[in-house]
Amino acid sequence: MVRVDHPDPAVWAHGVVAHDGSHAVYAVARLATSVAQVPGPVRLPGLASRRRYAVRPVAGVPEPATLQLAPPGWLADGGVTLGGAVLATVGLQVPALHPEQPILLELTATDG
């Protein structure tokens, strides 16, 4: 289990990563109204830095209510593939969620 530090106290995130780094699931939630409508990128720590990961919303879970008319480009496209180091240091822009709304992200290593 990994905990995610985010500069916005209204954004809460954590995840679980497989011991071999092949798979992970993260939950990102907005707990309350925030000063910023769109939170900054959310870093996803605990991944293998040299691996690449396909990032997608967890299948079968309802889409969260958002403040945006359109989701971030990667989400509108059904996912994105990025390196573990990028996800851990730069992060991933999640949609601007309404308070008390989560988004669940599934990450799968694409390089064996």
Give the pLDDT score at 32: 87
Q: Give every residue of the chain whose pLDDT is below 50, as ranges.
A: none
Alpha-carbon distance 111 to 28, whole Å?
A: 25
Q: How many CB atoms lie within 10 A of CB 13?
A: 24
Give the pLDDT score at 70: 83
Give the pLDDT score at 112: 62
Give the pLDDT score at 67: 85
Give the pLDDT score at 63: 85
Q: Report the predicted TM-score, pTM, of the whole model to 2 decimal places.
A: 0.92
